[in-house]
């Protein structure tokens, strides 16, 4: 049996798909439907609907509060790719790097082979140095690979 978080995630994904990539929900109402605390909804949103995974989550609190989840698709001409690359500064965890790589592959911006090569190039076993230097090096390597693939021009 799947966990409550899995059930909430599956429900939200179905709603996003049903409404063509954008859904607006009330956190408290969703919590009531799943018989859980609103913090459980926040946990699912914070861990499973992240920018690296291709989602933008907007939240408005208060009596008429809501959550809007938007699935963002990428294309190489889109400024979103350029913005992701520009914002890759400093430390980046292996999980975050893999999330970015996976999303690029899911959107057919890189091939399976490219994604595999990129994942291996930034893997902790390859970057065999201690933290935080490892995360810093991973960030620089990933940024440079993406700049080459998408031919980003430095300002």
CATH numbers and ranges of domains, the chain: 4-71 (3.30.56.130), 79-150 (1.10.1200.150)
Question: pLDDT value at position 79?
Answer: 63
Give the contacts of 119 (CB within 8 A, at least 6 positions apart). 97, 98, 101
Question: pLDDT value at position 80?
Answer: 64
Question: pLDDT value at position 12?
Answer: 93
Tens of pLDDT along the chain (155 residues) come to 578 999 999 999 999 889 888 898 888 888 899 999 888 888 998 888 877 677 778 777 666 668 888 887 665 556 667 767 776 777 888 888 888 888 888 878 889 999 999 999 999 999 999 989 999 999 999 988 988 887 754 44
Question: pLDDT value at position 141?
Answer: 93
User: Can you list the positions of beta strands (E) in the chain?
Assistant: 22-25, 55-60, 66-71
DSSP state of 108: T
Question: pLDDT value at position 53?
Answer: 75
CA–chain centroid gap for 114, Å, is 19
**Spatial separation of the C-alpha atoms in residues 70 and 38, rounded to whole Å:** 20
**Spatial separation of the C-alpha atoms in residues 37 and 46, rounded to whole Å:** 15
């Amino acid at each position: 049996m799947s966990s409550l978080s899995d059930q909430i995630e599956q429900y939200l994904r179905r709603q996003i798909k049903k409404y063509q990539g954008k859904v607006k929900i009330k956190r408290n109402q969703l919590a009531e439907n799943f018989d859980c605390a609103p913090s459980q909804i926040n946990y699912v949103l914070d861990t499973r609907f992240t920018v690296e995974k291709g989602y933008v989550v907007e939240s408005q609190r208060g009596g008429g509060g809501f959550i809007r989840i938007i699935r963002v698709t990428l294309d190489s001409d889109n400024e979103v790719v350029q913005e992701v690359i520009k914002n890759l500064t400093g430390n980046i965890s292996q999980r975050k790097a893999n999330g970015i790589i996976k999303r690029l592959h899911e959107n057919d911006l890189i091939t399976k082979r490219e994604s595999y090569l990129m994942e291996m190039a930034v893997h902790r076993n390859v970057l065999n140095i201690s933290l935080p230097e490892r995360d810093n090096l991973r960030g620089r390597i990933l940024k440079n690979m993406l700049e080459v693939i998408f031919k980003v021009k430095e300002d």
